[in-house]
Amino acid sequence: MTAKIISITDSAAQRIREILSNAKDNEIKGVRVSVVTGGCAGMSYEMNYVKEINSSDEVVEDCGVKVYIDPKAIMYLLGTSMDYKKNKFSSSFVFNNPNETERCGCGESFKI
C-alpha cells in the first residue's frame, strides 16, 4: 500500500465543502494544491479553484472531499497533513509537512 500524498483533516474537509458550496461559479469542481516559489524561505503553498481537471493531477479523496494535487508539487507534499485553523483574528489552511526543514517567521513560506 502506498502512502497518501496528502491527508485532509475533518476541519479542512468541512471548510473545502463550505468554499465549494458558496462558489458563485457552477463550473468549480474542487480545489488544487500547488507549491510555488516565493516567500522568504523559498516556497509556499497555493490553493486555487479547479474548473478543469488536468489528466496529470493526482486526486486525493479524504474525509469526503477531493483535492487535486499539481503533479509538480507531489514530491514536496508527500506525507503532508492539510488542516484548517480558525481563531479570533484569522482563519487559514495549515499544511503540516514532515519534509520542511525551515519555515519563515510569518509561517507563509517554507524550505525543503
The pLDDT tens digits for 64-78 are 898 999 999 999 899
Cell of 74: 507531489
Domain ranges of the chain: 6-104
pTM, two decimal places: 0.83
CATH number attached to the domain at 6-104: 2.60.300.12
Quick one: average pLDDT of 78-98? Answer: 90
Q: Is the pLDDT of residue 1 over 50?
A: no
Strands (E) in 27-109, as ranges, are: 30-37, 43-50, 58-62, 65-69, 80-86, 91-96, 102-103
